[in-house]
Amino acid sequence: MKLFQQQVSQISSWLLILLAFSLPISTSAITMTAILVLVCWLIEGEFLEKWREIIASPICIAVFVYLVILLIGLCWTDDLHAGWGAIRKQWKIWLLPVFLTTIRWEHRWRYVTAYIAGVTVTMLLIDLAWLDLLHYVRVVSLQHLNIISNNIVYTPMLALAIYLLLHQVLWGGIKGIPRWFGLLLVGLMIFTLFITIGRVGHVVFFILMALLLFQYLRRNLLKAALLTLVLLPLVFTVAYRFSPVFHERMNLARLNITTFDRNQDTSVGQRLVFWKNSWRIIRESPWLGVGTGGFVSAYTQVHQKWSPAMPCTDDPHNQYIFAVVQQGILGLLGLLGLFFVQIQHAWRLTDGWERIRLAFPLFFLVIMTTASYLNVYGSGFLFSLFSAVLFKSEINWQATTVFDSSK
């Protein structure tokens, strides 16, 4: 029986590698793999030991608080059915404790490497389509490459993969040909990023690169600041000059903002309208919000009064606003708590992952300003899986049972 459970544990770890690989590729593969991980977790047993690891994890406690706030929000929602639907959609976040107690501490780089590999596969498909060597249904045009996953999700994932790969090149002890191969792959990733639509991916790329420079030159902050002020504008200028996609998207964003008073039905204009209408709801219920699942009904009423000619929405395209509308200040505190705990514990372990543990919450704090990324399928799983990988303790339940492979 013990041998069987140990085999199940090993299978679970490999399934998590597959899950990390699937994040930028296929939502169906994500679903099936996550379900198999959960099944293996239940078969494996050892629930008392797992529970001890879960309650000892500040990250899991923060997730519990966040989800309890969502449950409490059902008490004053006008649409209980929609509220329960919103709770069910959070199953990818609920899985964080399962991932945490499934992950093998010594295999952490395998999960990260699998994620980078999945991003690379998708990137190669984009590049082949850009070269007109590959044709598939979702390619709209060479200027608007639509890929396997949604561009809104993929470009941030690509930006994160660039950071992770550069981190490994700088601090991973890679030398010789593998180091040059890594740098070449980084260059190809950056090129692909700027031929792919998805402005938030471009924005978070520059922020992560600035962070990386400060982390690398932490003993000379003046030099880090000067390089940031020189290198990043240089990359922006080159991308703006030579990438038609990036050039078009930047110009379009600027045009949308400057013409907002005359034409609100644009990509940026719609978001601004969503935020303005959401703020009108917040002013009416700032402390507790309209309740979990109450966004659609509340927004529809405001929309009909203030912007009937514009598209309606079920998401304000901002995770912070979404939280405040539904659970008020309480919801915002619960949301920020997820990332405050991560930042607070980023340096708890001196294992070479401190820099990544700081970059990861910063990554989400940035991208959540343009969409409710915890609610989006792929990025929601990215949060729960990588939170588990990054904040897994070396002393865990596997290390104190017969399932440790060293025994």
- Average pLDDT (16-36) is 95
Give me the numbers of helices (H) and strands (E) for the chain, helices first please: 18, 0
- With residue 107 as reference, give the H or E element that holds it: none
Interatomic CA distance for residues 178 and 164, integer angstroms: 15
Interatomic CA distance for residues 240 and 82, integer angstroms: 43
pLDDT single digits (tens) 308-354: 999 999 999 999 999 999 999 999 999 999 999 999 999 887 888 99
Confidence of residue 366 (pLDDT cuts 50, 70, 90): very high
pLDDT above 60 (res 407) = no
Task: State the pLDDT at residue 28.
Answer: 92
Burial grade of 258 (CB within 10 A; 0-12, 13-18, 19 or more): exposed
- Average pLDDT (229-243) is 95
Nearest to 277 by CA among 306, 241, 240, 257: 306
Confidence of residue 402 (pLDDT cuts 50, 70, 90): very low
pLDDT above 90 (res 291) = yes
The separation between the first and the last C-alpha atoms of the chain, rounded to the nearest angstrom, is 16
Task: State the pLDDT at residue 140.
Answer: 47
Nearest to 22 by CA among 40, 37, 10, 9: 37
pLDDT above 60 (res 142) = no
pLDDT above 80 (res 132) = no
The mean of the pLDDT values for the chain is 91
Lookup: tokens for 354 = 């401190």
Confidence of residue 399 (pLDDT cuts 50, 70, 90): low
Specify whether the CB–CB gap between 350 and 305 falls below 8 A: no
Interatomic CA distance for residues 207 and 201, integer angstroms: 10
Task: State the pLDDT at residue 261.
Answer: 87
Which residues, 6+ apart, have CB-to-CB distance to 397 below 8 Å? 46, 49, 50, 52, 53, 101
pLDDT single digits (tens) 163-185: 999 999 999 888 889 999 999 99
The verdict on pTM exceeding 0.75 is yes
pLDDT single digits (tens) 66-91: 999 999 999 999 999 999 999 999 99
